[in-house]
Amino acid sequence: MAEKLNMGARILWAPSLYLFSCSRVQSMSLKDQLMQDMKTAMKSKQVDRLGTIRQLRSAIKNKEIELRQDLDDDGIISVISTAVKQRREAAQMYSDNERPELATKEEAEMTVLQEYLPAQLSEEDVRKVVTEVIAELGATSMKDMGKVMPQVMARTKGCADGKMVNQLVRELLAG
């Protein structure tokens, strides 16, 4: 569907800019959103938020260089998910080693990063997806986990934590 854009004296026709990813609806690409949010953080002097966004943009750029192509929103979501997982693990490690100030910093960065991820599915919703996949594949034992996991991860990409999915698949296949 195309939208009619009125740009001063001329009228342009442009494709609709709405993208769908899980339950996230956005009007611009994640790269554009990151750039806009970085400028906003600079203007409002939000040093921690600015640093986190810069780190994320750097990680995205490094991934693009590694792959030798521009990332689409799904690729960027994958990079953000990896960054969130790294922050979660670092925060846990700092908490275990009695460094609460560093753990708090990691958790704050994780909060900023999670704003760019699609809404996460609840455990109940993931359990429904796992149950559906198990029924479709006729999986009955832990030997079928290799068949079930890729299907579930494909359906919940970017919307569910892989660790939780793995735990639920094990639980439902074992019991």
> 93-110: per-residue pLDDT in tens?
999 999 999 999 999 999
pTM of the model: 0.75
Percent of the chain with pLDDT over 90: 75
In terms of domains, do 34 and 109 share one? yes
Residue 4 has pLDDT above 50, yes or no: no
Claim to verify: residue 127 and residue 162 sit in the same structural domain: yes
37 with 72, same domain: the answer is: yes
pLDDT range class, residue 20, cuts 50, 70, 90: very low
CA-to-CA distance for 120 and 23, rounded, in angstroms?
Answer: 9
Structural domain boundaries, residue 33: 27-114
pLDDT at 10: 34
Residues 108 and 83 in one domain: yes
- Inside any domain, residue 150: yes
What is residue 60's DSSP assignment? H
Please count the CA atoms within 13 angstroms of the CA of 168 that sit on its side-chain side: 23
19: β partners: 26
pLDDT, mean of residues 124-132: 95
Nearest CA to 111 out of 126, 91, 96, 125 is that of 91
CATH code for the domain in which residue 104 is found: 1.10.1510.10
pLDDT reading at 17 higher than 70? no
pLDDT digits 0-9 by tens, 24-64? 445 689 999 999 999 999 999 999 999 999 999 999 999 99
Do 110 and 38 lie in one domain? The reply is yes
Whether 159 and 93 map to the same domain: the answer is no
Residue 140 belongs to a domain with what CATH number? Answer: 1.10.10.410
Is there a domain that residue 147 lies in? yes
Q: Are strands 24-26 and 2-7 parallel, antiparallel or unpaired?
A: unpaired
* Neighbouring C-beta atoms of residue 103, cutoff 10 Å: 18
Residue 96, domain member (yes or no): yes
Does residue 68 belong to any structural domain of this protein? yes
Specify the number of domains making up the chain.
2
Distance of alpha carbon 96 from the chain centroid:
26
Average pLDDT score over residue span 80-88: 94
Q: Between the CA of residue 126 and those of 3, 122, 151, 164, 168, what are the distances in Å? A: 36, 6, 12, 8, 8
Residue 44 lies in a domain: yes
Hey, is 93 helix, strand or coil?
helix
Mean pLDDT of the chain: 86
pLDDT of residue 6: 39
What backbone torsions phi and psi does residue 25 show, to the nearest 5 degrees?
-115, 125
